[in-house]
Structure 1
Amino acid sequence: MNSKTEAFLTQQVPMAWAEVGKSHKHESAVLHVLGEATYTDDIPEAQGTLHAALGLSSKAHANILSMDLEPVRRMPGVVAVYTHKDIPGTNDCGPIIHDDPILSPGLVQYIGQPIFIVVAKSHEQARRAARKAVIEYEELPAILTPQAARDAQSFVVPPMHLARGDAQAAFERSKHRLKGELQVGGQEQFYLEGQIAYAVPKEGDGMHVYCSTQHPTEMQHVVAHALHRHSHDIVVECRRMGGAFGGKESQSALWAACAAISAARTKRPVKLRADRDDDMMVTGKRHCFYYEYEIGYGDDGRISAAKVQMVSRAGFSADLSAPVATRAVCHFDNTYYLGDVDIRAMCGKTNTQSNTAFRGFGGPQGAIAIEYIVDEIARNLGMDALDVRKINFYGRNDEEGRNVTQYGQKIVDNVIHELVEQLVSESDYRKRRDEINAFNATSPVLKRGLALTPVKFGIAFNVTHFNQAGALVHVYTDGSVLVNHGGTEMGQGINTKVCQVVAHELGISLDLVRASATNTSKVANTSATAASTGADLNGKAAQDAAHTIRKRLAEFAVKLHGGAVEDVRFEAGQIVVNGSAVPFPELVQKAYMARVQLWSDGFYATPGLHWDPKTMSGNPFSYYAYGASVSEVVVDTLTGEWKLLKVNALYDAGQSLNPAIDVGQVEGAFVQGMGWLTTEELWWNASGKLMTHAPSTYKIPGVSDCPENFDIRLFKNRNVTDSIHRSKAVGEPPLLLPFSVFLAIRDACSSVANHKFNPPLRAPATSEAILNAISAVQELAQG
């Protein structure tokens, strides 16, 4: 965070008393720094705890002909070995389609697929033993890439198609047409805390599972089905995660199920903690995409027709690939009105890890394609890409005809025009463009690049019924408050924001409110903490619960002091009623003595959402979050090395609940998105083995990759939708901001031939990819 960002945050203190809108620190910040925050692996182990490890497939696609597990059983410390035959219930952990076995029943479909569980007295003993199995395979042909899956018509779900207007007729009317292709790689979530579950048997066939998961309710269901028990027999608890980014939405189920199966069979507590290599080999990642596109446009750069085919690497099972592809289709437009479109999406079934949710959930993969295309149009016309972007923006909110998305949702909250103009001014974009052109004209080796890219991101779950949440709020007789909600804390600050909402509603200071661990026995049937909806949904539910208590206290205060209920104020730790100011703890104590209920549940369901998956139309989003960024890079054209020099970004968080946390989320998302598009390359060898399965072979950005000038600010706005205190989500949308980094690199590459040709730059833009793009441009320039 630089001085400009810090100065921005110091200006964000509201005038009136409030606990929302303030830059409060993360509720666990001190615990994080001191190392006292309890994660799943830190929970004191019960007496008799055993440790599990998974035996993994060494083939990408094969039938198991024979499996000798006696060498495993003979290893020191081994207590038991379990296969799919030892699962008492359903051998499946697929979140939507039941095609994802917990343990392979005989057919393995990727290198790293779990086949058996080893339970031993220590973690190391279990891991060593898991390597001793003797397995004979009958190998089968393997499909490894999206293109191969498309060619073989190998899909995990049927292909999707969204069309509006008549794209073919629009192409025939277009002055210019371009065709091209793009490859964008996947991304490992690389959470600091790996996958882990700790299952503790309880009386009467009960099971308490401590799990690092974004979706405790789904873990409850998977464990119940695997053990052939009712949901009320299973309690899943998560105090916090050390990062998740979507990787612990559905894929924590495998680990929870294996720990619970082992605990149920041994009747002893069992912990299953994945080492980093095993974690990366077993779990799915962000979907890589391959695109083929055709675009029609005019002399001014306005798009008149668009056709795109997107194929993702889904992996061996469906997991969440269908909703990821749906969101990619819905975000192909990004901030641009596309009148006549033909969009097709395919989820390629490949013999690789089953890919899953990742921050942005397909939105980044959809939007990066149109940004790449707009960049290409601008270069073809000799225009600044910013001007092409602006002419294609959705119309302003009062401009009919250019404010309806390709899936039929009317945009009523568009601020992209104002936001981009503010960023252009504050970043000196035009002046810097001239300076960079002058620099490149006299620098034969080092080339600078500049790009400004916008963001429009829809907020809500694709599946309508997931847009609901519950909460419990307890007020104790000393005036302190405990809140429990269905969201999970993964470092993003949801507990802090929910506590702020409750404190604000009750008129007390934040330090009087505490959030407890997410627990399926407290708030049931919760949705995943995903789709950037955590604070929106759970904040509203907690507000509802706190408001009920507030109303009861107001009615009680009026009985004691007179006046009208609607005139009672809760502020600064006091209840102001009929001219009297009563300390909050004092009124609460009196209310308890008068038998006033001091706890309440709360519930919220997002209104106005509907989606028809057959026609791919409807109102899938509650609102849109907007943003834009300017990035400047320098590229060494001889080595492909590059450096990010400066970033200016504006993000629309609405009326921010906590500006400090929101700015931190934008910064983190920017760096993570930059890693996806530049350094984080996943590579499978010819046999289908993931070779980038450790920090030594997989490069996430480091501190040295961050720019010295990193200016992140929040755009002054207020959500037109009745979100929690008119704020906007901040989890996923900022990950699209570093599109500007990727396209600034492309801008630098094109400068070697005076921007006359489009560099075929793939993502991630590694040094190798950059050199390939520069070579292609130089060859075109030479004729």
Structure 2
Amino acid sequence: MNARDDDYGTATGGGPTGRAAAGERNLAPGTDSPHAPTAPEPAMGRPRPHESARAQVAGSATYIDDIPEVKGTLHAAPILSTAAHGKLRGVDTAAAQAMPGVRGVVLARDIPGDPLLATFVHDEPIFAGATVHHVGQVIGLVVADTVMEARRAARQVKLDIEPLPAVLDVREAHAKQSYVLPPVTVRRGEPEKALASSKHRLSGQLEVGGQEHFYLEGQVAYAMPLEQDQWWIYSSTQHPGEVQHWVAHALGLENNAVTVECRRMGGGFGGKETQAGHLAVWAALAARKLRRPVKLRLDRDDDFMVTGKRHPFAYDWEAGFGGDGRLTALKVTMLVNCGFSADLSGPVADRAIFHTDNAYYLSDVEIASYRCRTNVQSHTAFRGFGGPQGVILIEAILGDIARHLKLDPLAVRQANFYGVGERDETHYRMKVEDNILQPLVSQLARDCGYRQRRERIAAWNATSPIIKRGIAITPVKFGISFTATLFNQAGALVHVFTDGSVQVNHGGTEMGQGLNTKIMQVVADELGVPFERVKCTATETGKVPNASATAASSGTDLNGRAAQFAARNVRDNLAAFVAGLDSCGAGAVTFRLGQVITPKSTRGFDEAVKAAYANRIQLWSDGFYRTPKIHYDKVTLTGRPFYYFAYGAACSEVAIDTLTGESRVLKVDILHDVGTSLNPAIDIGQIEGGYIQGVGWLTTEQLVWNADGRLATHAPSTYKIPATGDVPEHFNVRFWHEGNREDNVGGSKAVGEPPFMLAISAWEALRDAVAQARGDGRAPLVAPATAENVLKALG
């Protein structure tokens, strides 16, 4: 920024500063550090390091591209469409096949099974056929001895494409009724009548951009042919079961012929829920044609061009409200930019509808959602899965209402909160039974000194002509469960070996979020053994079949409970055996700190295991869990789609330079609801990381498509994710003090996605600064709030 750092001053307010200080105070009683030495004590609730942390730092943690390659392995590179829309009249591969090391080319004609991917909507070709639908669509593969030989040859393939009109704007798509799925409308009450009788009315539009996942490990798959037409697929995927199904479908095989393995991913964020399946299918098709193992790893530029992003949204809205800012009516039109095929756009758009209320009661409301087809990458899951696109709209509306009425935006938000025992039903007919919004937000406002800081910021802005500040508190109420009810199930295996060590395998996948660590803690406590005695193995479809994706923040809820049940079955077997030895009831046997205790004796866990094995007692078991209470009508989008809600709130203070449009987040204070934390160190990391990733979405990460449909922001040089310099020095995170009121594993709550939406407070604070700089109470800011967009908003 042109202004000196001093111009921002030292942010003031309640509470101590510093990220480490904030985090450590929230770990566990008697713990001073996230990595304090472990004593023989229960595993859950302790800030234990990530189970792979040392290996990752040392470079010994294995990712797909690190797996030693089998003799004869070939490498593939994609042939990409150069047109946004057109008829594919020819593919000339002669020059490519003449290049050194090239072993072959794979095109649509080489698919033995269904040429369409096995998606729910069944509308996406594996390789482009007669028509190309976006720049970067994969037309086929070049396969060579080395990665670079394949990539160089792929660039020599000549494509004959007859251009067709391309739709690149979501509003144009809506005007042409170009949709990947039918529109959906959710309605309650009589919003038209309520609007007509409202004391005040406002209307507006909003544009919110997409977001590139930018995982550190790009998309990669390694397909290995086995005997008798069986296949082993290494895939960096959040959904091994879907990869298995997709590969089998494309090869014309049954699912039992394909095994998919994933030990870990180098980040996913939703980008490896469906998108990883494409690479696995492509690699498997190449391996089948050439009868050799094939690895396919996209470079960063191709990854950008090929894979889908967070869905961009455009909105039209009209709201009615009273003098205190309480909403009396709301009508919303959501235009969802889905890209060229459906992918997960249906459930993403549905969740945006579910979360348009965020923390607020909507009495008379209509939300119309249009799932628009455009000639860009097919957009997909991203952390929050449509929830952020719903939450940001209602927060923008309430911010505009507060400025219109010249009220404190926090007071307007609190006036609209769900009530307890009244105004407690969502627009999709689910009761909000665990409401902690008012006390949580009020506590955060007190602790961070919100009102005093707001007064100081107003005084600052009155005397500072160039640097303007803003502040905002926004809440989060996020529903936890897959909205597709069938995915709310999980399985796990727990093995106890004769030396007393324990191995657990489950259907979830590890992408850096600490899922394996938490599940190891759960299993350790269920068996009463030290955490160090438990190991997690790679996720594999041959061990736990039909597993759901690790998504929807439900990885620990589902797989942790399944693993707990599996461990409990083994424990019950041991308890019954030991009870027989000591002539007591099995209920009198306890497992704690590596010991098996009865009213008559205390045995070491290892000793009890050896004796049980000698007496032929089963020392392994499966576990299965399905989420209770959930149900909803997919046609009307009404019912109870979520098991519970996770809550939180953030106060963000920002500054903008009115000469350049540049901005900075100065202070962040967060109070977040994780229930009873299974691992406070990991949960704090998730909250901090989610917030910063959300700030990236809303401030710097701008996707730009040129007029010809080519993605211009396709590399780190043109696409700006947050870096360490974007993290404010004052970054305080606190946990809400209550456990989960529903019977969830360890009393915990999901923490993967909900913190992402805390970053909307930073965007609302930027709008506050813009409005104060303009002086007319308006903040016409789009997202992301890049320097260019801030300048436009300033007028």
- Smaller-chain TM-score range? over 0.9
Give the aligned partner of residue 534 of structure 1: 555
Give the aligned partner of residue 778 of structure 2: 758
Given the superposition, is the C-alpha separation of residues 610 and 264 from structure 1 closer, same or farther in structure 2, using an over 3 Å criterion? same
Separation (CA, whole Å) in 1 of partners of 2:130 and 2:689: 42
Separation (CA, whole Å) in 2 of partners of 1:601 and 1:92: 35
Q: Which amino acid aligns with 1:6?
A: E
Separation (CA, whole Å) in 1 of partners of 2:334 and 2:325: 23
Given the superposition, is the C-alpha separation of residues 15 and 193 from structure 1 closer, same or farther in structure 2, using an over 3 Å criterion? closer
Instruction: Give 3-state SS (helix, strand or coil) of 2:228's partner.
Output: coil
Report if aligned partners of 2:248, 2:255 keep a CA contact under 8 Å in 1.
Answer: yes
Separation (CA, whole Å) in 1 of partners of 2:530 and 2:271: 35
Report if aligned partners of 2:27, 2:46 keep a CA contact under 8 Å in 1.
Answer: no
Separation (CA, whole Å) in 1 of partners of 2:566 and 2:779: 55
1:434 to 455, 479, 487: 455
2:167 maps to 1:143: yes
2:293 maps to 1:273: no
2:575 maps to 1:554: yes
Give the aligned partner of residue 533 of structure 2: 512
Instruction: Give 3-state SS (helix, strand or coil) of 1:8's partner.
Output: coil
Report if aligned partners of 1:462, 1:620 keep a CA contact under 8 Å in 2.
Answer: yes
Report if aligned partners of 2:23, 2:681 keep a CA contact under 8 Å in 1.
Answer: no
2:359 maps to 1:359: no
Give the aligned partner of residue 770 of structure 1: 790
Q: Which amino acid aligns with 2:351?
A: R
Report if aligned partners of 1:93, 1:253 keep a CA contact under 8 Å in 2.
Answer: no
Instruction: Give 3-state SS (helix, strand or coil) of 2:500's partner.
Output: coil
2:474 maps to 1:450: no
CA deviations 1:109-143 (Å, max 9, x no partner) are 00000001111000000000001111111110000
CA deviations 1:256-314 (Å, max 9, x no partner) are 00111111111111100000000010000000000000000000110000010000110
Q: Which amino acid aligns with 2:338?
A: A
Give the aligned partner of residue 582 of structure 1: 603
Deviation at residue 579 of structure 1 after TM alignment? 3.5
Any stretches of 5+ residues in structure 2 without a counterpart? 1-18, 32-37
Normalization by structure 2: what TM-score?
Answer: 0.96
2:339 maps to 1:315: yes
Report if aligned partners of 1:608, 1:622 keep a CA contact under 8 Å in 2.
Answer: yes
Report if aligned partners of 1:545, 1:600 keep a CA contact under 8 Å in 2.
Answer: yes
Deviation at residue 409 of structure 1 after TM alignment? 0.3
User: Identity rate of aligned residues, in percent?
Assistant: 54
Give the aligned partner of residue 190 of structure 2: 166
2:642 to 621, 630, 640: 621
After superposition, where does 1:312-351 map in structure 2 within 5 Å? 312-351=336-375
Give the aligned partner of residue 20 of structure 2: 2
Give the aligned partner of residue 524 of structure 1: 545
Report if aligned partners of 1:94, 1:101 keep a CA contact under 8 Å in 2.
Answer: no
Give the aligned partner of residue 320 of structure 2: 296
Give the aligned partner of residue 495 of structure 1: 516
After superposition, where does 1:665-744 map in structure 2 within 5 Å? 665-744=686-765
Q: Which amino acid aligns with 2:793?
A: A
Separation (CA, whole Å) in 2 of partners of 1:498 and 1:384: 44
Give the aligned partner of residue 179 of structure 2: 155
Give the aligned partner of residue 4 of structure 2: none
Report if aligned partners of 2:28, 2:46 keep a CA contact under 8 Å in 1.
Answer: no
CA deviations 1:640-675 (Å, max 9, x no partner) are 111111100011000111111001000000000000
2:150 to 126, 130, 134: 126
Give the aligned partner of residue 644 of structure 1: 665
Separation (CA, whole Å) in 2 of partners of 1:496 and 1:759: 44
Report if aligned partners of 2:135, 2:709 keep a CA contact under 8 Å in 1.
Answer: yes
Separation (CA, whole Å) in 2 of partners of 1:4 and 1:739: 21
Instruction: Give 3-state SS (helix, strand or coil) of 1:315's partner.
Output: coil
Given the superposition, is the C-alpha separation of residues 433 and 16 from structure 1 closer, same or farther in structure 2, using an over 3 Å criterion? farther
Instruction: Give 3-state SS (helix, strand or coil) of 1:204's partner.
Output: helix
Instruction: Give 3-state SS (helix, strand or coil) of 1:558's partner.
Output: helix
Report if aligned partners of 1:304, 1:339 keep a CA contact under 8 Å in 2.
Answer: yes
Instruction: Give 3-state SS (helix, strand or coil) of 1:335's partner.
Output: coil
Separation (CA, whole Å) in 2 of partners of 1:358 and 1:711: 25
2:200 maps to 1:179: no
Count matched residues: 771
Deviation at residue 10 of structure 1 after TM alignment? 4.8
CA deviations 1:319-369 (Å, max 9, x no partner) are 000000000000000000000000011111000000000000000000100
Separation (CA, whole Å) in 1 of partners of 2:601 and 2:405: 71
Deviation at residue 8 of structure 1 after TM alignment? 2.3
1:235 to 245, 253, 259: 259
Separation (CA, whole Å) in 1 of partners of 2:39 and 2:323: 50
CA deviations 1:74-102 (Å, max 9, x no partner) are 11100010110001111222521111111
2:438 maps to 1:417: yes
2:122 maps to 1:104: no
Report if aligned partners of 1:305, 1:338 keep a CA contact under 8 Å in 2.
Answer: yes
Deviation at residue 580 of structure 1 after TM alignment? 1.5
Deviation at residue 15 of structure 1 after TM alignment? 13
Instruction: Give 3-state SS (helix, strand or coil) of 2:27's partner.
Output: helix
1:205 to 201, 213, 229: 229
Report if aligned partners of 1:562, 1:577 keep a CA contact under 8 Å in 2.
Answer: no
Report if aligned partners of 2:118, 2:245 keep a CA contact under 8 Å in 1.
Answer: no
Give the aligned partner of residue 779 of structure 1: none
CA deviations 1:140-174 (Å, max 9, x no partner) are 00001111110110000000100000001111110
Deviation at residue 25 of structure 1 after TM alignment? 0.7
After superposition, where does 1:252-267 map in structure 2 within 5 Å? 252-267=276-291
Q: Which amino acid aligns with 2:388?
A: P
Separation (CA, whole Å) in 2 of partners of 1:136 and 1:269: 31
Give the aligned partner of residue 111 of structure 2: 87
Separation (CA, whole Å) in 2 of partners of 1:238 and 1:451: 41
Normalization by structure 1: what TM-score?
Answer: 0.97
Separation (CA, whole Å) in 2 of partners of 1:626 and 1:255: 36
Instruction: Give 3-state SS (helix, strand or coil) of 2:25's partner.
Output: helix
2:265 maps to 1:245: no
Give the aligned partner of residue 780 of structure 1: none
Separation (CA, whole Å) in 1 of partners of 2:70 and 2:774: 67
Instruction: Give 3-state SS (helix, strand or coil) of 1:737's partner.
Output: helix
Deviation at residue 705 of structure 1 after TM alignment? 0.5
Deviation at residue 69 of structure 1 after TM alignment? 1.1
CA deviations 1:541-571 (Å, max 9, x no partner) are 0011000000010011111122221121111
2:92 to 53, 68, 71: 68
Instruction: Give 3-state SS (helix, strand or coil) of 1:604's partner.
Output: strand
Given the superposition, is the C-alpha separation of residues 707 and 99 from structure 1 closer, same or farther in structure 2, using an over 3 Å criterion? same
Separation (CA, whole Å) in 1 of partners of 2:159 and 2:396: 47
Q: Which amino acid aligns with 1:131?
A: R
Q: Which amino acid aligns with 1:363?
A: G
Separation (CA, whole Å) in 2 of partners of 1:36 and 1:259: 25
Given the superposition, is the C-alpha separation of residues 290 and 94 from structure 1 closer, same or farther in structure 2, using an over 3 Å criterion? farther
Instruction: Give 3-state SS (helix, strand or coil) of 1:308's partner.
Output: strand
Separation (CA, whole Å) in 2 of partners of 1:416 and 1:95: 38
